[in-house]
Amino acid sequence: MLSRRGFLGAGAATLGAALLPSLAARSQAAAQIRTTDLGGLFLLHGAGCNVLALRGDQGALLVDGGLAANAEALLRAVFSATGNDKVHTLLNTHWHPEATGANELVGRGGGKIFAHEKSAMYLRNRVSSAAFEGRRAALPEAAWPTETTRAEGSLEFAGRKIDYGYLPAAHTDGDLFVHFPQSNVLAVGGVVAAAAWPLIDYRNGAWLGGRVRAVERLAGLVKPDTRVVPADGALLTGRDIVRQRDIYDELFVTMIGYMNKGFGAEDVVATNPLKEHGAEFGDPSAFLDGAYRSMLIAYVPD
């Protein structure tokens, strides 16, 4: 069985077909990856976050990479789905560990890693977050993004145009959406959640106002039947994004009213302005606490 050190030290060719049999048992032990074909664009569940994969002539393209513990299992599933034997390009929608766990394997295999420049900054430094306990060390240099963006743009891959754009201060402060217009698929990372209230990393620049702006932007991109890929959970539709936009717009106005009344975060949680959505998204207490704290930070007087 191949050692982890040996696997990490492998080049692009080593990530090829010769390795796949030896990785099979380890893949099954690490994670159960399920693959859904979205018409030549593959959705992979079970790696720590939802991952998209697209076959390319020189290797696969990935959107996000799951947790590091599941990276080998994920690559095995990607190679099986796409028929490729290496990853050419990996796009990080944000810098949290559940989205960047495959960075090191992809980087050591010679793949390009693309992210917002603020995500690259976080990955290169020791950081704390509302998403995890304590402080996380910087990733190894091989896992750092090799190309970054500040705003929006597009790239061509396997004959498809792929658009991306920056969603400031929404989930982190380095969020990107990735849009496959030919497939009518939009990957939104942690900005939108399918069956739970999404995290706002208010310790690192995100706040409820950024979330509101981001979902408004996404609502302008989608069609009613657009397949929307959140960080985890089931696929959403464009209709779901429009509905979530309306929920967040109303919540923001409500929160401003609470600030004018001098509420603390505990008062907002006790009042629970999202109670009518609890059956669908679960207990909103943690989300409300973080969202309101993010507003208190954003509106601190100069």
| pLDDT above 90 for 14 | no
Residue 104 and residue 139 in contact, taking contact as beta carbons nearer than 8 Å: yes
Identify the pLDDT of residue 302: 52
Which CATH number is 24's domain given?
A: 3.60.15.10
Q: How far is CA 50 from the centre of its chain?
A: 8
Q: How would residue 193 be classed by pLDDT, with cut points 50, 70 and 90?
A: confident
Structural element, H or E, at residue 34 = strand 34-37
Weakest mean pLDDT among 8-17, 23-32, 164-173, 214-223: 8-17
pLDDT over 80 (residue 96)? yes
Taking only the tens place, the pLDDT of each residue in 46-93 is 999 999 999 999 999 999 999 999 999 999 999 999 999 999 999 999
pLDDT > 90: percent of the chain: 85
State the average pLDDT over residues 256-266: 96
| Contact between 238 and 192 (Cβ < 8 Å) | no
Mean pLDDT (whole number) for 252-266: 96
What H or E segment, with its residue span, contains residue 88?
strand 87-91
Cα gap 222→206, rounded to integer Å: 23
In this prediction, residue 41 has a pLDDT band, given cuts at 50, 70 and 90, of very high
Q: Domain containing 69: what range?
A: 4-298
- Residue 97 corresponds to which tokens in the numbers above? 């560990």
Q: Give 81: exposed, middle or buried? Use CB within 10 Å, 0-12, 13-18, 19+.
A: buried
Do 47 and 65 form a contact (C-beta atoms < 8 A)? yes
Mean per-residue pLDDT for 180-190? 97
Q: How confident is the model at residue 196 (pLDDT cuts 50, 70, 90)?
A: confident
Q: State how far the Cα of 5 lies from the Cα of 290, in Å rounded to an integer.
A: 39
pLDDT score at 1: 30
Q: Tell me, what's the pLDDT at 253?
A: 97
Two tokens at 95?
A: 């810098």
Of 36-40, 129-133, 187-191, give the lowest mean pLDDT range.
Answer: 129-133
The yes-or-no verdict on residue 27 having pLDDT over 60 is: no
Number of domains within the chain:
1
Given a cut of 70, whether residue 203 has pLDDT beyond it is yes
User: For residue 50, which of 210, 235, 250 has the smallest C-alpha distance?
Assistant: 235
* pLDDT category of residue 131 using cuts at 50, 70 and 90: confident
Res 26 pLDDT > 80: no
CA-to-CA distance for 221 and 176, rounded, in angstroms? 13
Q: Are 289 and 269 in contact (CB under 8 A)?
A: yes
Region 116-125 average pLDDT: 97
Q: What is the mean pLDDT of residues 133-148?
A: 96
